[in-house]
């Protein structure tokens, strides 16, 4: 009987005591009045920041390594009202935060972005370093993390038509935002050594004329040692505005590219490098108007190109495909030009057009070779609508190398419609489709002896390039054992007296491709 009465009494006493005893918190939620914070880095760095443009977002983790919670009295910048830095503290956009509780052995996240003010747009160009402290006060202790940006002032071209007959110089970088337009009847002249960086989705649209390192602006020497190397300061460079970051240096599809409208005439691109785009150069003439938009590419390098299913900074490319040169019924002349690491096409001609390649090297080995399924050189007289056949397609391919990671690097769609306008001579070509010694319906026989082509049994490096790798360490000059050397009696006119590096080409024993030298 006693035991039966004991249990209700204990239950009542427990309930009564619970009214007077404090609740028990987990240890990590208990507040301690000593101890400091730890950080994932002592400095948050932003490298090569262009003035007036927002940077990428960097993360700073703030750790409470103590077993119990701490109250962070203050998180704030030195100059919160005028700072070039923007903070997102624990999900809240604010420059200063107070009384933030961090549980024991827990953390909070601070996101940091920068937008540096111009440091001399109207004066002499210069680089500079902008530093500011991000301050933390916890339990009477002050701690700091340094925010540091290495900035450079720029010429910003943001969704505007350019002044007629504009000239871009190399005193500071030019950055493209959105669409930058060269108006009809006007010229954009880009001087030696100019650097052009394009933001995600940006395009340089030329309705007039584009002159890049034109002969009037740049004439390299003619001595045997006057080499124009890849590091030459006179080369004009087009790239994505994040190409300075290792993960984006060789990434394609970061910007749209150079677009030559149907009204564009007389374009020249010399001693230039175009990379990281959806298309290197797009000639857009969907109505097959005459005269065609045209471009002369000389001593140029076009690389890291792709448009297929490309997404960058949250925006998908508006094109389904990418090419080093993509021509919709345009006219493209290419000399001493290297196309490399294009994920789809090196040159794609749609809806007819006029194409000439002489002493060019197509070395199409993108980093992800498994994605490639299209021939590097592809031509069709079918218009962009996929139905209409346009009259007229001419192709001259001479003294060149066309090789890559797939077996057929040339495709001539509806060849019989324009066969009279096709001439392929003295070229090293990866092809099984056109490897016969005689023509057949719809299929030229490019191994005919009179054409002097090298149609080798496919291997990954039949041309014997010096180095094939993913990225800028590739070297597409020929090794001493290459079958493309010493083409004395096979050469096809016209001979180009100097190669991609501006070195003399032996008129009696010229090598195939853009590079004459093996050294």
What percent of the chain has pLDDT above 70? 88
Neighbours of 321 (CB within 10 A): 20
Taking the C-alpha atoms of residue 160 and residue 21, their distance in angstroms, rounded to an integer, is 71
pLDDT at 311: 38
Grade residue 426 by pLDDT with cuts at 50, 70 and 90: very high
Neighbours of 313 (CB within 10 A): 11
**Residue ranges per structural domain of the chain:** 27-148, 154-478
Task: Say which residue, 100 or 459, is predicted with more confidence.
Answer: 100
Grade residue 6 by pLDDT with cuts at 50, 70 and 90: very low
pLDDT score of 499 more than 60: yes
Nearest alpha-carbon partner for 289 in 266, 262, 259: 262
Rounded average pLDDT over 342-364: 96
Rounded average pLDDT over 26-36: 80
pLDDT score of 250 more than 70: yes
pLDDT at 17: 41
pLDDT at 18: 42
pLDDT at 275: 96
**What are the distances in angstroms from CA 209 to CA 21, 184, 191, 329, 445?**
85, 8, 14, 18, 39
pLDDT score of 3 more than 80: no
Nearest alpha-carbon partner for 484 in 498, 500, 464: 464
Rounded average pLDDT over 202-206: 95
Rounded average pLDDT over 231-251: 88
pLDDT in tens, 450-486: 999 999 766 788 999 999 976 677 899 999 999 999 9
Task: Say which residue, 117 or 138, is predicted with more confidence.
Answer: 138
Name beta bridge partners: 311: 316
Taking the C-alpha atoms of residue 323 and residue 252, their distance in angstroms, rounded to an integer, is 11
Rounded average pLDDT over 36-48: 89
Tell me whether residue 288 is exposed, middle or buried, using C-beta atoms within 10 angstroms of its C-beta: 0 to 12, 13 to 18, 19 or more.
Answer: buried
Query: Any idea which of 110-119, 330-339, 428-437 has the lowest mean pLDDT?
Result: 110-119
pLDDT in tens, 111-128: 999 887 776 555 555 556
Structure tokens at 114: 């920068």
> Helices in 335-402 by DSSP H: which ranges?
none
Taking the C-alpha atoms of residue 341 and residue 471, their distance in angstroms, rounded to an integer, is 8
Task: Say which residue, 398 or 34, is predicted with more confidence.
Answer: 398
The DSSP secondary-structure symbol of 4 reads H
pLDDT at 332: 98
**What are the distances in angstroms from CA 251 to CA 183, 199, 322, 471?**
30, 13, 13, 9
Rounded average pLDDT over 154-164: 89
Taking the C-alpha atoms of residue 439 and residue 42, their distance in angstroms, rounded to an integer, is 70
- Say whether domain 27-148 belongs to CATH 3.40.50.300: no
What percent of the chain has pLDDT above 90? 66
Task: Say which residue, 247 or 498, is predicted with more confidence.
Answer: 498
Give the global pTM.
Answer: 0.81
pLDDT at 313: 39
Taking the C-alpha atoms of residue 495 and residue 508, their distance in angstroms, rounded to an integer, is 10
Tell me whether residue 420 is exposed, middle or buried, using C-beta atoms within 10 angstroms of its C-beta: 0 to 12, 13 to 18, 19 or more.
Answer: exposed
Neighbours of 78 (CB within 10 A): 14
Taking the C-alpha atoms of residue 404 and residue 397, their distance in angstroms, rounded to an integer, is 17
Rounded average pLDDT over 485-489: 90
Grade residue 10 by pLDDT with cuts at 50, 70 and 90: very low
Taking the C-alpha atoms of residue 344 and residue 373, their distance in angstroms, rounded to an integer, is 7
Element (H, E) at 5: helix 2-18
Structure tokens at 510: 């010229």
Burial letters 89-123, b for 16+ CB under 10 A, else e: beeeeebebeebebbbebbbebebebbbeeeeeee
Rounded average pLDDT over 257-281: 97
Rounded average pLDDT over 419-442: 96
DSSP 480-504: TT-TTS--TTT--SSPPSB-TTSPB
Taking the C-alpha atoms of residue 49 and residue 112, their distance in angstroms, rounded to an integer, is 14
Q: For the chain, give the longest Cα–Cα distance.
A: 122
Number of continuous H segments (helices) and E segments (strands) in the chain: 1, 39
pLDDT at 120: 54
> At 348, is the secondary structure helix, strand, or coil?
strand
Rounded average pLDDT over 414-437: 96
On whether the CB atoms of residues 180 and 206 are closer than 8 A, the answer is no
Grade residue 15 by pLDDT with cuts at 50, 70 and 90: very low
pLDDT score of 361 more than 80: yes
């Amino acid at each position: 009987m006693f035991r039966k009465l004991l249990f209700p009494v204990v239950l009542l006493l427990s309930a009564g005591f619970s009214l007077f005893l404090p609740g028990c918190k987990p240890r990590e939620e208990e507040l301690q009045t000593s101890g400091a914070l730890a950080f994932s880095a002592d400095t948050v760095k932003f490298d090569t920041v262009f003035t007036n443009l927002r940077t990428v977002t960097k993360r700073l983790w703030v750790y409470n390594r103590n077993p119990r919670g701490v109250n962070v009295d203050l998180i704030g910048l030195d100059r919160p009202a005028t700072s070039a830095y923007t903070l997102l503290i624990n999900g809240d956009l604010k420059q200063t935060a107070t009384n933030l509780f961090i549980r024991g052995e827990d953390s909070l996240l601070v996101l940091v972005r920068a937008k540096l003010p111009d440091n001399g747009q109207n004066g002499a160009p210069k680089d500079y370093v902008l530093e500011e402290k991000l301050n933390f006060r916890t339990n009477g202790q002050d701690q700091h993390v340094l925010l540091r940006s290495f900035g450079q002032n720029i010429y910003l071209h943001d969704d505007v038509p350019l002044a007629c007959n504009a000239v871009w110089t190399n005193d500071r970088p030019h950055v493209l935002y959105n669409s930058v337009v060269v108006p009809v009847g006007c010229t954009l002249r880009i001087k030696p050594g100019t650097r052009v960086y394009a933001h995600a989705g940006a395009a340089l649209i030329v309705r007039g004329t584009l002159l890049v390192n034109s002969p009037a602006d740049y004439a390299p020497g003619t001595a045997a040692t006057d080499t124009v190397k890849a590091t030459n300061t006179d080369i004009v460079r087009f790239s994505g505005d994040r190409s300075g970051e290792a993960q984006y240096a060789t990434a394609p599809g970061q910007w749209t590219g150079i677009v030559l409208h149907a009204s564009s005439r007389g374009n020249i691109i010399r001693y230039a490098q175009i990379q990281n785009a959806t298309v290197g150069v797009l000639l857009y003439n969907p109505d097959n108007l005459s005269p065609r938009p045209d471009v002369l590419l000389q001593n140029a390098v076009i690389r890291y190109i792709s448009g297929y299913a490309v997404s960058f900074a949250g925006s998908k490319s508006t094109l389904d495909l990418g090419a080093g040169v993509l021509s919709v019924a345009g006219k493209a002349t290419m000399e001493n030009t290297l196309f490399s690491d294009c994920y789809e096409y090196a040159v794609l001609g749609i809806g007819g057009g006029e194409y000439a390649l002489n002493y060019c090297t197509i070395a199409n080995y993108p980093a992800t070779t498994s994605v490639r399924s299209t021939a590097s050189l592809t031509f069709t007289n079918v218009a962009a609508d996929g139905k209409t056949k346009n009259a007229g397609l001419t192709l001259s391919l001479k003294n060149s190398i066309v090789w890559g990671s797939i077996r057929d690097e040339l495709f001539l769609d509806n060849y019989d419609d324009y066969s009279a306008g096709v001439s392929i001579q003295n070229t090293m070509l990866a092809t099984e489709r056109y490897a016969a010694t005689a023509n057949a319906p719809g299929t030229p026989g490019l191994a005919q002896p009179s054409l002097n082509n090298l149609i080798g049994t496919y291997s990954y490096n039949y041309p014997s390039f010096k180095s094939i790798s993913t990225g800028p360490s590739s070297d597409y000059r020929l090794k001493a054992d290459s079958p493309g050397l010493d083409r004395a009696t096979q050469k096809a006119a016209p001979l180009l007296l100097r190669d991609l590096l501006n070195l003399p080409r032996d008129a009696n024993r010229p090598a195939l491709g853009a590079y004459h030298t093996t050294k």
